[in-house]
Amino acid sequence: MEKFKELGLQGKILKGIEDLGFEQPTPIQEKVIPVILGEENDLVALAQTGTGKTAAFGLPLLQKLETALPEVQVLVLSPTRELCMQIGKDFQNYAKYRPDIKVVCVYGGADIRKQIKEIKQGCHVLLATPGRLCDLIRREAVSIEYVRAVVLDEADEMLNMGFKEDLNFILDETPEERKTYLFSATMPREVERIAKTYLRAPQEISTGKKNQGADTVSHEYYQVRAKDCYETLRRVIDCAPDMYAIIFTRTKIDARDIARKLHKDGIDCDALHGDLSQAQRDDVMERFRSKRLKVLVATDVAARGLDVDNLTHVINYNLPEDVESYTHRSGRTGRAGKEGISVAIINSKERGKLRRIEKIIKKEFQYREVPGGEAVCRAQLLWYADKILAAEPKETLEKYKDELYAKFASLTKEELLQKILSYEFGKLLKKYANVEDLNLPENECGGKREGKKEGKKETDGQHDFTTFTLNIGSDDGFTPRDLMTIINENVPRRGLEIGAIRIFEGNTKFEIDLGDLRRFASFFRNVSFNGLPFHPVEIKDRYARDKGRSRAPFPEKRRFDKKRADKGKRGRFAEKKKGIGNSPRPRKKR
């Protein structure tokens, strides 16, 4: 506690964190708390979840509140309902001995009238997701004109999720003299731009390197044929009986399929993806947090803002498209100084992608051999033996002891053990008795391609994705939701699987498994977005695909156009007022 005192924390807030068992500040807390208490600087902090960043901004902001004043003084924006609720829970804990502090959480997917009522009953600290807050501001249900401090938590995720316009709108509603504290796990250009626009001479704080994960995470990979990815996953899970993990897939179909298969194979698991209702999502998360589920299979989008402690592993069933997503995925383990493992299961042609990730995160992936049957059985048996050794003898067993001893009297100790293990592990031993070696021979590890079809660009083992680029981007107010809506409304064919969507300032890249659908682009001949022609172009060559990532694909066509730039500035709000862009939440095509 002394260290927290030295940083400037006092009284009832200190007492609150004492109850939480915090003894020493984490590195990010040591750096951030004095800056926020000093109130001199804005702040850009490069920090992953799990570093203790919530307390880093929460504790000093709560301590500085003037609760005699009724207005909202602190605003914390976060990308998802889950993260918002988690911050709310953390703040309630920090302020356990300060009942005068009123904290309200507002987020989408919940009854807005209830939230309005809560705000009316008093709110010093407003924790919000951007979309819902914009809604409340437009309804004049909340005023943020007296806010003294704004926290942008997981700023990179908020921008990834298409909240740029919402953030601009919200920040413009707050007073100029407010302090702004931006937290982000990665620092892409868009985040730097937000920092430049809205922060004044910010102090930069980092507990890691840009786009680099925590030091407590080790990175491992298995390289197998695409068709063997599932079996590899299964063995990796079986080989780690204490595993508590999130498995990331690129598509919701994969998430669902893998969860189903694992469940069938006897592993406690479920899937988290965009098709679940909020109630289903809450149910899955409750079972995962309480460890009734050992593994959660999730898409990147569905897992955003998830805050689960003590994960032993993160498994990349498919490598993500970009390094930032990898940093986010792997950052879900190795939190609060604990060790974690980030596993990548790659197919024979993904080595290059892995190397690119290594270069940016500045960590090497350790090659691991896919465990054979013997290794899996040994791991399970030893784990079982450890559990038996650790078990406390129960007194209530005493009364059955004699009868049981009599039953086993004819067996030696070895025979008894044999029988117990055969009973417990019969199925497993049988399953793994003669399994195939899934490791690729060394000469196949360097990038030999499998089953590449003409015109197809990516395969995750189950989908052949074709990548398209589009001359509309976030500067035009374009969001993933807009993309899905346009595709849903214009392509008559059901069953298209949409893979990664990446929206850059001037362009968008997205993947579609077209199956045998011909001339995808022709469905959009007369379609436009905000007056811009919607014109997807298939990326035919790999060089162009990799090189063009964050640049406009056709720079000569994107000369500055004042009318368009003004429209971009007005963005989604302007369109919504006109009734455009108000279409119901889009869904991937089935």
49 contributes a contact to ligand AMP by CB under 6 A: yes
Closest to 344 (Cα-Cα) out of 240, 233, 225: 233
Cα angle 325, 368, 315 (rounded to 5 degrees) comes to 30
Residue 207 as a binder of ligand AMP (CB under 6 A): the answer is no
Distance CA 448, CA 226 (A): 12
Query: Does 53 engage in binding with ligand AMP (CB under 6 A)?
Result: yes
Judged by CB under 6 A, the residue of 16, 52, 60, 506 near ligand AMP is 52
- Binding positions for ligand AMP, 383-412, rule CB under 6 A: none
Does 50 bind ligand AMP (CB under 6 A)? Our answer is: yes
Q: Are 263 and 271 in contact (CB under 8 A)?
A: no
Does residue 259 contact residue 245 with C-beta atoms inside 8 Å?
no
Cβ distance 365 to 354 under 8 Å?
yes
Q: CB-wise, 24 or 528, nearer to ligand AMP? A: 24
Task: Please compute Rg for the chain using Cα positions.
Answer: 26
| 323 is an interface residue for ligand AMP by CB under 6 A | no
Q: How far is the CB of 86 from ligand AMP (least distance, A)?
A: 7
User: Interface with ligand AMP includes 180 (CB under 6 A)?
Assistant: no
Q: Give 54 or 530: the residue with its C-beta nearer to ligand AMP.
A: 54
* Least distance (Å) between residue 340 CB and ligand AMP: 13
Which member of 54, 73, 80, 530 binds ligand AMP (CB under 6 A)? 54
Among 9, 13, 26, 249, binds ligand AMP (CB under 6 A): 26
Structure tokens at 229: 């990815």
Residue 213: CB minimum distance to ligand AMP, A: 13
**What is the per-residue DSSP string for 134-171?**
HHHHHTT----TT--EEEETTHHHHHHTT-HHHHHHHH
Nearest to 452 by CA among 465, 440, 441: 465
- Decide if residue 25 touches ligand AMP (CB under 6 A): yes
Q: How far is the CB of 11 from ligand AMP (least distance, A)?
A: 18
| Of residues 29 and 186, the one with the C-beta less far from ligand AMP | 29
307 is a site residue for ligand AMP (CB under 6 A): yes
Residues 6+ apart with CB under 8 A from 205: 28, 31, 32, 35, 43, 44, 45, 46, 47
Residues that bind ligand AMP (rule: CB under 6 A) add up to a total of 16
- Asked if residues 42 and 183 have their Cβ atoms less than 8 Å apart, the reply is no
Using the rule CB under 6 A, which residue among 69, 117, 336, 495 binds ligand AMP? 336
Q: Which stretch binds ligand AMP (CB under 6 A): 18-26, 416-424, 446-454, 508-516?
A: 18-26
Cβ burial, residue 295 (10 Å; 0-12/13-18/19+): buried
Q: What minimum distance in Å lies between the beta carbon of 549 and ligand AMP?
A: 29
Give yes or no for residue 55 binding ligand AMP (CB under 6 A).
yes
How near is the Cβ of 511 to ligand AMP at its closest, in Å? Answer: 31
Q: Which is nearer to ligand AMP, 29 or 299 (CB)?
A: 29
16 vs 571, beta carbon nearer ligand AMP: 16
Helix (H) or strand (E) holding 400: helix 398-408
Give the separation between CA 493 and CA 522, rounded to whole angstroms. 13
Identify the DSSP state of 510. E
Contacts (Cβ under 8 Å, ≥6 apart) of 135? 112
Q: Smallest distance, Å, CB 31 to ligand AMP?
A: 13
> Residue 47 CB, nearest distance to ligand AMP (Å)?
7
282 membership: H or E segment, kind and range = helix 278-289
Q: Give least dist CB 78 to ligand AMP, A.
A: 11
**319 neighbors 343 (Cβ within 8 angstroms):** no
Q: Which CB atom, from 86 or from 316, has the smaller least distance to ligand AMP?
A: 86
Q: Which x/- pattern, by CB under 6 A, does the window 258-297 give for ligand AMP?
A: ----------------------------------------
From 45-53, 215-223, 312-320, 470-478, span contacting ligand AMP (CB under 6 A): 45-53
**Left if phi > 0, otherwise alpha if psi is -120 to 50, otherwise beta: which for 515?**
left
Residue 41 or 54 having the CB closest to ligand AMP? 54
Would you call 224 helix, strand, or coil by DSSP?
strand
- Selected from 19, 40, 309, 424, the binder of ligand AMP by CB under 6 A is 309
Question: Which ranges in 95-228 belong to alpha helices (H)?
Answer: 112-120, 130-138, 155-160, 164-173, 189-198
Q: Name the pairing type of β-strands 458-459 and 464-470.
A: antiparallel
Out of 41, 51, 129, 251, point to the residue binding ligand AMP (CB under 6 A).
Answer: 51
- Output the smallest distance, CB 54 to ligand AMP, in A: 3
Q: What is the DSSP string of 440-460?
A: PPGGGTTT---SPPTT--EE-
| Residue number with CB closer to ligand AMP (29 or 211) | 29
Smallest gap, in angstroms, from Cβ of residue 360 to ligand AMP? 22
Q: How far apart are CA 224 and CA 441, in angstroms?
A: 9
Q: Is 88 in the site for ligand AMP (CB under 6 A)?
A: no
Among 124, 132, 335, 457, binds ligand AMP (CB under 6 A): 335
Closest contact distance (angstroms) between CB of 55 and ligand AMP is 4
Question: Greatest CA span in the chain, whole angstroms?
Answer: 92
Q: Using CB under 6 A, which of the segments 20-28, 212-220, 510-518, 582-590 binds ligand AMP? A: 20-28
Asked if 181 touches ligand AMP (CB under 6 A), the answer is no
* Binding interface with ligand AMP (CB under 6 A): 22, 24-26, 29, 49-55, 307, 309, 335-336
